[in-house]
Amino acid sequence: MSTSGSFAAIILAAGSSSRMGAGRHKLLLPLGDRPVLAHVVMATRASRARPIVIVLGHQAQQVRTQIAPFAGSPDVTTIENTHYLQGMSTSLYAGLQALAQNENTLGQALHSLAGVIILLGDQPLMTPQIIDALITCKQTTDKRIIAPLYNGKRGNPVVFDASLFPELLQVSGDEGARSVIERHRQEVATIELSDAVASYDVDTWEAYQSVVTQWERKQQQKGNDHD
């Protein structure tokens, strides 16, 4: 099990927004002065996770253009998964392969990385504090998988030990890494997080409206704190 080294981040942002409807791309919907995906990118950049790989798919060029101002850093790589319609696992595979290429080989990536945190591009209320809390939990427990709990329910993002990279590369379909988590249930540590809105996604138009409401509430609180 890897105990030293850094924790990479893979942001899964390839989905086709099929549940959003009306031809909208959920990751490009506005939230304040930037698109949804940019909030996830900025939270990750403000965390300890390095390097960061953003995996695009649906309307990749358009998304790349929109997030360019927020993804411009030597630590951030944006790649395109041309097989994204075959499910989330293909994006996970593409992200891990990109990390391996950055390190020349998967073996070298395993050597230099302690693990990876998998984030979803449609959770714009995610915070650097949550990402760092999960990484700290990984460093202070001997568990290979760290998952957050929001009001007692397991959510995202999830940290995986580097020793699980070969298994993550084997997942298929649209389940993401769920099968790896199930297989290693005894090796999962969970951490209860009070900031449950961080787990809100924008899968549907109604869900997006909820996120906008929560985001505006947070902005208001920040304003009140500065008064």
What's the confidence (pLDDT) of residue 99? 86
The answer to whether residues 8 and 50 touch, using CB atoms and an 8 Å cutoff, is: yes
Between CA 14 and CA 181 the distance in angstroms is: 22
Helices (H), the chain: 36-45, 60-71, 88-102, 106-112, 128-140, 165-168, 178-183, 205-226
pLDDT at 120: 93
Calpha distance 161→204 (Å, rounded) = 32
The pLDDT of residue 48 is above 50: yes
Q: Is residue 39 part of a domain?
A: yes
Q: What is the pLDDT of residue 31?
A: 92
| Comparison of pLDDT for 121 and 224, the residue scoring more | 121
Note the pLDDT of residue 105. Answer: 45
Would you say residue 154 has pLDDT above 70?
yes
**For position 59, which CATH number holds?**
3.90.550.10
Higher pLDDT, 103 or 140: 140
Average pLDDT over residues 152-173: 89
Question: Domain limits at 41?
Answer: 6-226
Q: pLDDT, tens digit, for every residue of 77-106?
A: 899 999 888 888 889 999 998 887 765 444
pLDDT at 8: 94
- pLDDT average, residue stretch 200-222: 87
pLDDT value of position 41: 95
35 upstream amide cis, omega within 30 of 0: no
> Can you tell me which residue has the tokens 């919907």?
29
User: Is 23 within a domain?
Assistant: yes
Nearest C-alpha neighbor of 83 from the set 158, 166, 16, 167: 16
The amino acid that residue 15 corresponds to is G
> What is the number of domains present in the chain?
1
Specify if 1 maps to a domain: no
Q: What is the signed CA dihedral for 99, 102, 106, 109, rounded to 10 degrees?
A: -80
In contact, 119 and 40? CB cutoff 8 Å:
yes
- Residue 94, CA distances (Å) to 14, 101, 138, 169, 201 in order: 11, 10, 24, 9, 22
What is the sign of the dihedral through the CA atoms of 136, 142, 145 and 150?
Answer: negative
Q: pLDDT band at 22, cuts 50/70/90? A: low
Averaged pLDDT for residues 104-114: 59
Element spanning 185, H or E: none
**Cβ 51 vs Cβ 99: under 8 Å:** yes
Looking at the domain assignment, is residue 131 inside a domain?
yes
On average, the pLDDT of the chain sits at: 86
What pLDDT, in 10s, does the model give residues 57-68?
A: 988 999 999 999
Of residues 175 and 10, more confidently modeled? 10
CA of 226: how far to CAs of 32, 127, 215, 219, 222, in Å? 19, 19, 17, 11, 6
**pLDDT tens digits for 180-194?**
888 999 999 999 987
